Amino acid sequence: MIEVRELRKSFGQVQALKGISFHCEPGKVTGLLGPNGAGKTTTIRILSTILKPLSGIAMVNGFDVVRESDKVRASLGVVLENTGLYRRLSGDENVLYFADLADVPRDEALERMQFLYKLLEIDYGKRQAGTYSKGMAQKINLVRSVIHDPPVLILDEPTAGLDVPSTVAVRTFVEQQKEAGKTVLLSTHLMNEVELLCDYVYIINLGLIVAEGTPEELKKRTQSSSLEEAFMKVVME
Amino acid sequence: MKSIFAVMKKEIKEAFRDRRTLIMSVLLPAVLVPAIVLGIFYFEGRTVQQQNAEGFTVAFQGSQELRSFLSQAKLEVIEVQDVEKAVLEKDADVGLIEEYTSSQSRVIVITSYASGTSGDSAASYLNSILPFYREQRIKDYLSQKGINEDVFSLVVVQSKQVGEPMAFAKFFLAYLVSLVMLTSGFVGNVYLGTDIGAGEKERGTLESLLATPVSRFSIAMGKWLALSALNCMGTLISLLSFTFSYSYAMTHFDMGLGFATGGSALAIWGTGIWAMIIGAVLLSLTGGALQFIISMYSRNMREAQLYLGQMGMVILPFIFILMPAFTNASTMPAWVFFVPIVNASAVTYNVIIGSVVWPLVGAALLIDVAVAVLLAFVISKFMNRESVILRM
């Protein structure tokens, strides 16, 4: 699970996070929504141990992101916005490189890679990644990020710019991860995706959590007919 | 250690699949270095041959005596009405007019084309042989006057060379080898250096990599060692192709410097070669570290290329500083061995002149090891700086 309490982060004079708190439970998909510059990416970067918080606590799978960063990364699968692949390596090599970095035995990695390929309908793993379409690359990216079978998954805009078949494949994958009991934190701008996938939602704006609840609760509370409308009302307040 | 090796292996694998890296690290050293060496030797050798003897055509106006003298000097002599025109129209490399100013006195005018190298060489050659003609004419005159021509030898000037006869050849070799080592090892493959840090940022792979279970120290070390290994490979290929082409050139082109005959004296000897190889490895580590730091700091590949492309300019002042020490053909001053980067040239020079001062070589290598360890520390700290990894 993910537990965040009073998390703060500044870049010079700019306060990116002003003390946010939230938590994500295993077997559920938690949405982190917000307009651009709200602090979503900073939060994800802190949870991925790429950045250090100014203050507050962030725990992933029971490990502190500052003091136990190695254990946090071993528990995490991360798909960040605009993540690329190594273009001169094949899809298989991209995946197995990350397996090596996670110290997954080769036999185990190959077995898991084949399982995930089947799940995501990937049959182009031998081709160089430079020849992939965006959707093909994103599927390999997903396999790569979970090759070490992490209990926690963080997805930042995983379907941005993808065509319909790829988007469906990614959403199916997320649902399967949820069914497997993984903790999934999903950041997205697509409200229909949130309604389809998320069990609980946090809306962040200007570095603060401004609303939380299930998609239905948010709509009801803001007297909105859609989640998009609810989101706009919350953010504009 | 296992993860460092994994990062290193991936970087090397990727590098070998990149045509630009292969061209810069393998093809260029293997082809360009011999081309430069053989080219220098070929053209210099040809110039020396031209200066020494045949091949020059002289547009001539003058006495039969001088014409015979020039023919004996293996010059092709053509009699012309207008010497200057013949030179301007390149019918001859040089012109020569001999005019009598009295029954015994004469003036010889050499005419050469103002911006022609063969004309300069021909004129220079004529200037070097005509004193013998003058001497002969004076002796003939003295003989006609009944004066013993030995009077001409009352003062005899002789020249004598002392010291190491191969000094210049050794300087030349040491300087070229140092240049090859510094450019390949320290400056290295700019494209690869660009790709290894800034390339990760531009492709969007850096953050995913940082989010993997592997530590940043391992990532930094793996990348640094891969970059250094590839730079070192380029250096060793350069040195190898240099050695082969140099040996070939020495036996096929005579530059008039005693290279062909004294070539064996320039052989790089046994233990010294190891000092040079260790020096090249350490130089690659230093260069690789600087390339990595610059590349990782850069926002994108274009910015990294801009900075890394200037690394060659950084070493030029060092090379100029060393020039006097090289040309003096004496042992390098001791302080040079204590300056990283520069000391690789000093070690190379000592190995080539065959008078290695082992304590100084040892000190140089130790200092380079210390610098490498320090750079490893700096790199690992550098990778932890948010201002560096998020500078996009």
Residue ranges per structural domain of chain A: 2-236
- Per-domain residue ranges of chain B: 6-47+165-389, 56-153
**Is residue B349 very low, low, confident or very high in pLDDT (cuts 50, 70, 90)?**
confident
Helices (H), A64-207: 69-75, 91-101, 106-119, 134-145, 164-179, 191-197
State phi, psi for B213 to the nearest 5 degrees. Answer: -65, -15
**Axis crossing angle, helix A106-119 with helix A91-101, rounded to the nearest 10:** 130
Task: Determine which of B49-58, B61-70, B270-279 has the lowest per-residue pLDDT on average.
Answer: B49-58
Provide mean pLDDT across the span A179-187: 93
Confidence check: pLDDT of B138 > 90: no
Local confidence band at A127 (pLDDT 50, 70, 90 cut-offs)? very high
CB-nearest to B204 from A50, A74, A83 is A83
Residue A12 makes CB contacts below 8 A (sequence gap 6+) with none
- In percent, the amount of chain A with pLDDT more than 70 equals 100
> B99 and B83 in contact (C-beta within 8 Å)?
no
On whether the CB atoms of residues A48 and A211 are closer than 8 A, the answer is no
State the pLDDT confidence band at B50, using cuts at 50, 70 and 90. Answer: low
Whole-number pLDDT of residue B326: 62
Chain B residue numbers with beta carbons less than 8 Å from the beta carbon of A93 are 10, 13
* Chain A, nearest residue to B385 by Cα: A51
Number of Cβ atoms within 10 Å of the Cβ of A83? 24
- Cβ of B213 within 8 Å of Cβ of A48? The answer is no
Asked if residue B46 has pLDDT above 70, the reply is no
Among B13, B14, B196, B208, the residue to mutate for chain A (most A Cβ within 10 A): B208
Assign B192 a pLDDT band (cuts: 50, 70, 90): confident
- CB nearest to B14's CB, from A78, A89, A148: A89
Cβ–Cβ pairs < 8 A, chains A and B:
75
Which of B2, B20, B212 would you mutate first to test chain A, the one with the most A CBs within 10 A?
A: B212
CB-nearest to A48 from B18, B211, B215 is B211
Higher per-residue confidence, B172 vs B105: B105
Chain A residues whose beta carbon lies within 8 Å of the beta carbon of residue B215: 70
* CB proximity list for A60: less than 8 A, separation 6 or greater: A2, A47, A72, A75, A76, A152
All residues of chain A having their beta carbon less than 8 Å from the beta carbon of residue B3 are 100-101, 103
The arithmetic mean of pLDDT across residues B64-82, rounded, is: 88
- SS3 helix, strand, coil % of chain B, rounded to 5? 70, 5, 20
Residue B257's pLDDT is what? 47
The C-alpha atoms of residue A231 and residue A163 are separated, in whole angstroms, by 25
Band of residue B264 on the pLDDT scale cut at 50, 70, 90? very low
CB contact under 8 A, A83 and B17: no
User: Do B207 and A45 make contact, defined as CB atoms within 8 angstroms?
Assistant: yes
- How is domain B56-153 classified at the CATH fold level? D-Maltodextrin-Binding Protein; domain 2 (3.40.190)
- Reported as a pLDDT band with limits 50, 70 and 90, residue B265 is very low
For residue B271, what pLDDT is reported? 67
Residue with tokens 């070939």: B248
Distances (CA, A) of B295 to A86, A108, B123, B135, B311: 17, 35, 53, 68, 12
Highest CATH level, class, for A2-236 = alpha beta
Put simply, the answer to whether A51 touches B386 (Cβ < 8 Å) is yes
pLDDT at B166: 61
pLDDT for position B189: 77
Residue A32 dihedral angles phi and psi, to the nearest 5°: -120, 105
Are A49 and B386 a contacting pair at CB < 8 A?
no
More confident residue, A207 or B40: A207
pLDDT (average), residues A91-119: 93
A58: pLDDT confidence band, cut at 50, 70 and 90? very high
Q: Determine contact, residues B389/B383, Cβ cutoff 8 Å.
A: yes
Query: Tell me: the pLDDT tens digits for A14-56?
Result: 899 999 999 999 999 999 999 988 899 999 999 999 999 999 9
Report CB contact under 8 Å: B212, A73: yes
A98 touches chain B (CB under 8 A): yes
Contacts of A102 in chain B (CB under 8 A): 212-214
Taking the Cβ of residue A155 and every Cβ of chain B, the question of whether any pair is shorter than 8 Å is answered with: no
Predicted confidence (pLDDT) per residue in B194-217, tens digit: 888 888 888 888 888 888 999 888
Token pair for residue B158?
């002789």
Average per-residue pLDDT for chain A: 91
ipTM (interface predicted TM): 0.90
pLDDT surpasses 50 at B259:
no
CA distance B267 to B26: 25
Which is higher by pLDDT, A23 or B312? A23
pLDDT band at residue B5 using 50, 70 and 90 as cut-offs = very high
Question: Is residue B392's pLDDT more than 50?
Answer: yes
A217 touches chain B (CB under 8 A): no
- Would you state the pLDDT for residue B262? 43
